[in-house]
Amino acid sequence: MSEQEAESWIAPHPPEGGACYRALIWLLDAVSEQFFSSCKHKRAELVARMRDAGTRGARGALALAQQELHNFNRDIRQQAFAFRTRAQSVRIGALRAALQADGGVLGYRLGDAAAEVWVELTDEIGVDEHVRQWKEALPDAAWSPESIIEQVSEQDARDMQRAAHAAGAEDAVGEMANVPTYCHTSVLLQEAVEMMGAAEGKVMVDATLGGGGHSERLLQAGASVWGIDQDPMARAAARQRLASYGEKLHVLAGNFRDVKTLLHSHGVDAVDGVLADLGISSPQVDTAERGFSFMAEGPLDMRMNPSLPRSAADIVNEADETELADILWQYGEERAARAIARRIVQQREHGRITTTTQLARIINSVLPRKGRQHPATRSFQALRIAVNDELGALDDLLSGGLSLLRSGGRMAIITFHSLEDRKVKHFFERVTKPEIDRPEWAQPRPNPEYTARSVTRKPVVPGEAELTANPRSRSAKLRVIEKL
């Protein structure tokens, strides 16, 4: 396979300011022993020379060794794309899906037996961890333990994307094809957006960008929006939908628990609104491969951010019985938590539980169906919350979001189940009470956390028309506060 024949793809988003790397990984069975060991020795020698020159402060020698390493890496890359495997591209195909699902990947080239991947570290995981995860997508492949990883500038990463675009059809198609149709009906759209007070000159954070429905309304009202989502599929869809708003929309990859740091790292210290429409989107539930739904056969995954280290399958197969029961009870309020956990542990003895429907059947065997709700509903909710640490992230969003608001700024949160709503309600009560009282105190004392006033005395819920048009909105509750 020549370099020109390699399949390439670029992510539909440019680098966003994180550290960028270029990594070359390859399959061992395509590479001669000699190539592998000479590569290893040469690189070790060059790195040792650089270290030595650095220690001596010999700048000229250091620059020379760096240049040699650069050239050497370039030669290796050229050779790697000439490698062939016996298994050919069948194997590499599985890697393609993993790379496109990794939100940090900016682009890649796949050869017959090697992959060159450009990645930006937008999550808390390092480049080695990304590489490890890609390799895991082909667990049976004989990956070379060596990989060539070089840091590149953000400009280089942008140039790579531009060059790939210019190089032709394959990449542009990759970009478009990778934004599947994203059908999500936004919940409490009118109500939430009106209460946010979006207008020209206002700066809003949409902490759950999703398909961009709420953000679109905020942008239409003239505000600029910082949209956060941990799911690359959602970010790609929102970018595409909202492309016409240009610089008014900034899409950030990350978890909303880091809202403050994310905004600070882009020079934003205060905003006029923070909106969160919690939970998962319809495309996430409806895409069987994401593993959120017991209605469709799919891998037991449930990660909103595909680079999270622990999937639902990892929990189901590795947590001990007590931990499993606690998860099902605390996050699903599942009364049969213990019995389900026990049955899962028994079933694991016959082999790993890997699919959504397999788990649903196990739950069903403990808890036969009664009424309209599927017996697996609560357990699936519990696992999803555990996998994504949804309640922990919500705690951080509430405190981080409030501290980002300037005076008069508003925070609006839409919840979909009682565990979330309880958290929001208690937090809002805590920060909107001027005084606190305790039985042991003679009189109430000023509340040091008093920083906001309540805008919605009772939660706002969908009206008849919305419930009819979108039954998924039935458990939604919107609560809003305003910073004093």
Ligand X SMILES: C[S@@+](CC[C@H](N)C(=O)[O-])C[C@H]1O[C@@H](n2cnc3c(N)ncnc32)[C@H](O)[C@@H]1O
Where on the chain is the footprint of ligand X (CB under 6 A)? 184, 186, 208, 210-214, 228-231, 234, 255-257, 277, 279-281, 304, 393
Smallest distance from the beta carbon of 214 to ligand X, in angstroms? 4
Q: Give the integer Cα–Cα distance in Å for 28 and 142.
A: 5
Instruction: Please state the closest distance from residue 363 (CB atom) to ligand X, in A.
Output: 24
Closer of 109 and 184 to ligand X (Cβ):
184
Distance of closest approach, residue 475 Cβ to ligand X, in angstroms:
12
Please, what is the minimum distance in Å from the beta carbon of residue 219 to ligand X? 12
Comparison of 214 and 483: residue with beta carbon closer to ligand X: 214
Least distance from ligand X to the Cβ atom of residue 175, Å? 19
* Smallest distance, ligand X to C-beta of residue 473, A: 10
Nearer to ligand X by C-beta: 30 or 413?
413
CB of 77 to ligand X, least distance (A): 34
CA–CA separation, 236 vs 230, rounded Å? 11
Neighbour count for residue 465 (Cβ, 10 Å): 8
Q: Which is nearer to ligand X, 211 or 375 (CB)?
A: 211
| Residues 475 and 416: beta-carbon distance below 8 Å | yes
Closest separation in Å from C-beta 274 to ligand X: 12
Tell me the β-bridge partners of 252: 228
> What is the nearest approach in angstroms of ligand X to the Cβ of residue 123?
11
Of the pair 53, 259, the CB lying nearest ligand X is at 259
Q: Which is nearer to ligand X, 105 or 138 (CB)?
A: 105
Q: What is the C-alpha R_g of the chain?
A: 25
Q: In the bound complex, what is the minimum distance in angstroms from residue 134's beta carbon to ligand X?
A: 21
CB of 304 to ligand X, least distance (A): 4
* Cβ distance to ligand X smaller for residue 134 or 256: 256
Burial class (CB in 10 A: 0-12, 13-18, 19+), 179: middle
With contact defined as beta carbons under 8 Å apart, do 277 and 414 qualify?
yes
Residue 129 neighbours by CB distance under 10 Å: 14
Nearer Cβ to ligand X, position 231 or 301? Answer: 231
Q: Which is nearer to ligand X, 185 or 330 (CB)?
A: 185
Residue number with CB closer to ligand X (53 or 480): 480
Of 359 and 398, nearer to ligand X (C-beta) is 398
Contact predicate 278/208, CB 8 Å: yes
Q: Following CA atoms 10, 13, 19, 21 in sequence, which dihedral angle do they give, to the nearest 10 degrees?
A: 0
